[in-house]
Amino acid sequence: MTKRLAEVAKKAGVSEATVSRVLNGRSGVSEATRTSVLTALDVLGYERPTKLRGERARLVGLVLPELQNPIFPALAEVVTGSLAQRGFTPALCARTIGGVPEADYVEMLLDHQVSGVIFAGGSYALADASHEHYRRLTERGLPVVLVNAGVDELGFPRVSTDDAVAVEQAYGHLRSLGHETIGMVLGPEGHVPSRRKLSALLQVSVAADAEAWVERSSFSMEGARVAATKLVERGVTGIICASDVLALGAIRAARRLGRSVPGDVSVVGFDDSAFMTCTDPPLTTVRQPIEMMGQAAVDLLVSQIDEARVLSDELLFEPELVVRGSTGPVRRD
């Protein structure tokens, strides 16, 4: 008990005596201090006293698939900052290989009586994954927001980049440079955003009376290198990738085959994550409006929490093509 008091006091920035007064329901503590102590209790994973358990903390979970891809820390910065401004305490849950699975994070967040959850890039984006833990959230009536496309049947509100517009921008840019043999490196077949990008690619290819070349990959540089190698060996001169990480793998593939970028092969990424201006060459990419999307995700969640509104709409945000050094005119022999 003494250890718990000390940890909670340190986390909340108050004395152990103040923590004791809050936990025992005594007077003489301001509402702000009381909230701070209870939030610290939730964050540290301690159970609230029975008489306090009915009071849901203003704690919000943010569940991410990883932190190695720079786009996810960028989103986390926007979301956590916006939540803090609204008086909520963010609880960041980032999955790692061999670490805590998403379903277990959901159970932990439910145990901590969170007010809501924002997911980015989770199992909801995979059509063939288990979605049972999301249904648990629906059964509890917990507010949830998803960032980017997911399976439709979950019924949660979504904040997404318009994948169709992203592909149109990238494809149109490559065609304007004279590229006629254009391919795409996508995520796994069940990945919903990749499905949307594929649908858009087929449409623009038909309109251009051109063939669409597609390879799939895990969202890793090595996986992209294998996929892009197949495209380049087929004579593809312009490659559109479903993420910046995949684009860096495609550039590596071209170089290992003795091709130059953009002299022989042009590569377009997706995200415009941090440091893409520092790559060699600087990466042409389609920028996701992360700032606006993160703010919108928080707005949707808070409106559900404070107004008890049930939402299921999808907000689509238009991306922006950012032209740098990884694309250039097609080489004519």
Number of neighbours of residue 266 by Cβ within 10 angstroms = 27
Q: List the beta bridge partners of residue 112.
A: none
Report, in angstroms and rounded to the nearest whole number, the Rg of the chain calculated over CA atoms: 23
In whole angstroms, what is the distance from residue 44 CA to residue 39 CA?
9
Question: What is the spatial order of strands in the sheet that 320-322 belongs to?
Answer: 212-216, 182-186, 238-241, 266-271, 284-287, 320-322
Q: Which amino acid is at 262?
A: P
β-strand 182-186 against 238-241: which pairing, if any? parallel
Contact 208, 221 (CB under 8 A): no
Does pTM surpass 0.85? no
What is the DSSP annotation of 52-120? GTTS--SEEEEEES-SSSTHHHHHHHHHHHHHHHTT-EEEEEE--TTS--HHHHHHHHHHTT-SEEEEE
In whole angstroms, what is the distance from residue 89 CA to residue 38 CA?
11
In whole angstroms, what is the distance from residue 59 CA to residue 163 CA?
31
Could you tell me which of 315, 304, 187, 163 has the C-alpha nearest to residue 247? 187
Q: Is the dihedral of CA 281, 282, 285, 288 positive or negative?
A: positive
Residue bearing tokens 């022999």: 333
Return the SS3 of 208.
coil
Residue-level pLDDT, tens digit, the chain, 333 residues: 577 788 888 888 899 889 888 888 788 888 788 878 887 877 777 766 655 544 455 899 999 988 888 999 999 999 999 998 888 989 999 887 667 889 999 999 988 889 999 999 889 999 999 999 999 999 888 999 999 988 988 989 999 999 999 999 999 999 999 999 999 999 999 999 999 999 999 999 999 999 999 999 999 999 999 999 999 999 999 999 999 999 999 999 999 999 999 999 999 999 999 999 999 999 999 999 999 999 999 999 999 988 766 667 899 999 999 999 999 999 876
Could you tell me which of 123, 66, 80, 116 has the C-alpha nearest to residue 294? 80
